[in-house]
Structure 1
Amino acid sequence: MPLFGLANNVRMSLDLINSKQYFSEQSVVLLNYAGLEDNDINVDSFLHVEYLYLKRNLLTQLPQSIAKLCRLKELLLESNSIECLPDELSSLVFLHVLNVNSNLLTLLPTSVCQLASLTKLQISDNRLTQLPSDLGKLVNLEILEASRNLLTTVPKEIMFCKCLKLLALDRNKLVRLPRQLFVLSDLNEVSLAGNNLQYLPLDVVRLPRLRHLIVDDNVDLHYILEVPDDNNILIISKTALHASNLTAERPAVHGLHIVLRRDLPHVVLPPEFQEVCQYGTHSVPGLQELALRAVFDLMETQPGVRSSCKDLPAELSDLLQCPSAHCHVCARAMFRSAFFAA
């Protein structure tokens, strides 16, 4: 693979950088640690480049002419001072990897969400307060790294990123996660350390390929979930109880197995739940729970019912499309009721 590199040559000759003869046949160009500023590079010099690395320079923005780099597959912009990304970025239809870690981004533009070929998005160490709902358009995305930002949640549309395998959201300000996140069956690792989480979506332990769930340093997390015996999830947490603390015998209640932290007196459940039942009692789910279960069962067997549910209030329709949780005993969908161990 043709490669051109000038890394570590501080303030190299701009004539050399902008000379088309040096890059006309190069597919990989390394310009890391080169002291480059916004006006230093002529995009026309990189028209044939597929891999462009510009780590730790002095860039504050990308030119609109970035759209000309139609062959680009990887773009590394880590450790610059970029405050925004141009709309023209959406023209990079072959881009697989975008790394803008350690910049000054406050907003992730929708142009990034139009990069249909993107498999790896690295946006850690920025100033992002939210992610766009269009994130769900990244249907080929496998890795999303967004640690050390100012995020309080992630959009529920992430459920459409069906190929997602690794999600890193450490050191944000997350207080909740959408339950829709945990319908992504390919998820292998979810890292949530150092946030403000009070609860986890209850279906997290049902993910077939999830092997690492990291929730360290979430001091307000009130419980973790008991992992089924046939699941290999490793929950990494210094503050939560582990399955070894559970009693050996438990009534066969069709509900969710939740382990409470003994040092926290109050429990914060996901907002979808309206009632809490306890193992060892004869609690019966409420009328709305029973009705939602019945409608959901009809949706599974009669396709025409699903389209009719779109006329329901948005909250109920959303619940029917993506239940709050599933029973760990019978795997039946659950909506408004949760069961706790005594």
Structure 2
Amino acid sequence: MGPVPCEVGDLKELQTLDVSTNRLLSLPERLHLCLSLQILTADRNRLWNVPRHLCQLPSLNELSMAGNRLAFLPLDLGRSRELQYVYMDNNINLKGLPSYLYNKVIGCNGCGDPIQVSEMKLLTFSSGQLTVFLPAEVKAIGTERDPVLPLQELAMRHLYHACRHSDPDFNFLSPVSLPRSLLELLQCPLGHCHRCSEPMFTIVYPKLFPLRETPMAGLHQGTTAVSFVAYCCSTQCLRTFDLLS
């Protein structure tokens, strides 16, 4: 089997899709148009990312991408209450799970192996001896010493709320009124704050919670070295977010 055809997005009634063991390098973004999709299995391929548009699938209940080359997951993965089962086992470069996945059924054994990945040019965030890769779309990492947001981030957030109030689908905007890259980002933000759900577009404030320090540690019996990562929108949310509360 070759690449998944873009026309898969036209299959509105599709409920289960299994594209395992096909040497796939990517999944089509139009996959997020499969509004009835409940189970997506893409194990044992060569995938390096999970399209963030998949987080918008309203019926997705199970996602399995074990045995790929994932180094990061979308910030919003797990934000949907419908998604309950996520299997990412044996992605050795994957060291961080979005905190939205906490209390979901997750598989992450064999992830986070301590190896050097010189070919990856991704931003990383470190806390103590722990380091995680951040999604490629993240342009900047904020800390408690950076209370002022970049001008582009402020503008995008203001525009998002103004447009969302008048037209939730942003249909009145076009590449003429806004560059295509910014228009697409406005329609599908990088992610939403794990503390207050504020949309984020260029910068995130990450906070690590090692899995071994959570009550879930016993379920994995030391077979994974990943951390949960809370992605916050500001220094205030960064200070007040608590995974276990």
Same fold (TM over 0.5): yes
AA of the residue aligned to 2:151: L
Higher relative contact order (CA 8 A, sep 6+): 2
Partner-residue secondary structure (3-state), 2:86: strand
Gaps of 5+ in 2: 113-123, 209-245
Q: TM-score, normalised by structure 1?
A: 0.53
RMSD, aligned CA: 2.5
1:224–1:260 CA contact under 8 A, matched in 2: no
Is 2:202 aligned against 1:336? yes
Is 2:40 aligned against 1:167? yes
> What is the distance in 1 between the residues matched to 2:128 and 2:40?
29
1:145–1:167 CA contact under 8 A, matched in 2: yes
- Specify whether residues 208 and 240 from structure 1 end up closer, same or farther in structure 2 by C-alpha distance, changes over 3 A only: same
Is 2:129 aligned against 1:269? no
Is 2:11 aligned against 1:138? yes
> What is the distance in 1 between the residues matched to 2:170 and 2:23?
41
- Cα displacement string for residues 26-69 of structure 1 (whole angstroms, at most 9, x for unaligned residues): xxxxxxxxxxxxxxxxxxxxxxxxxxxxxxxxxxxxxxxxxxxx
Cα deviation, residue 292, structure 1: 0.9
> What is the distance in 2 between the residues matched to 1:233 and 1:215?
13
Write out aligned runs for 1:146-295 (5 A). Answer: 146-227=19-100, 232-239=103-110, 265=131, 267-278=132-143, 280-295=144-159
Cα deviation, residue 234, structure 1: 1.5
Cα deviation, residue 264, structure 1: 6.2
- Could you say which structure has the larger radius of gyration? 1
- Specify whether residues 264 and 147 from structure 1 end up closer, same or farther in structure 2 by C-alpha distance, changes over 3 A only: farther
- Specify whether residues 205 and 259 from structure 1 end up closer, same or farther in structure 2 by C-alpha distance, changes over 3 A only: farther
Q: Name the structure 1 match of 2:213.
A: none
> What is the distance in 1 between the residues matched to 2:92 and 2:111?
9
Partner-residue secondary structure (3-state), 2:100: coil
Partner-residue secondary structure (3-state), 2:40: strand
Q: Name the structure 2 match of 1:325.
A: 191
- 307, 312, 333: which is aligned to 2:172? 307
Cα deviation, residue 282, structure 1: 3.8
> What is the distance in 1 between the residues matched to 2:37 and 2:145?
40
- Specify whether residues 150 and 219 from structure 1 end up closer, same or farther in structure 2 by C-alpha distance, changes over 3 A only: same
Q: TM-score, normalised by structure 2?
A: 0.72
> What is the distance in 2 between the residues matched to 1:329 and 1:268?
20
> What is the distance in 2 between the residues matched to 1:282 and 1:330?
18
Percent identity at matched positions? 33
- Specify whether residues 159 and 179 from structure 1 end up closer, same or farther in structure 2 by C-alpha distance, changes over 3 A only: same
> What is the distance in 1 between the residues matched to 2:192 and 2:65?
22
> What is the distance in 1 between the residues matched to 2:145 and 2:110?
29
Q: Name the structure 2 match of 1:11.
A: none
> What is the distance in 1 between the residues matched to 2:127 and 2:26?
23
Partner-residue secondary structure (3-state), 2:148: coil
Q: Name the structure 1 match of 2:229.
A: none
> What is the distance in 2 between the residues matched to 1:170 and 1:239?
14
> What is the distance in 2 between the residues matched to 1:335 and 1:274?
9
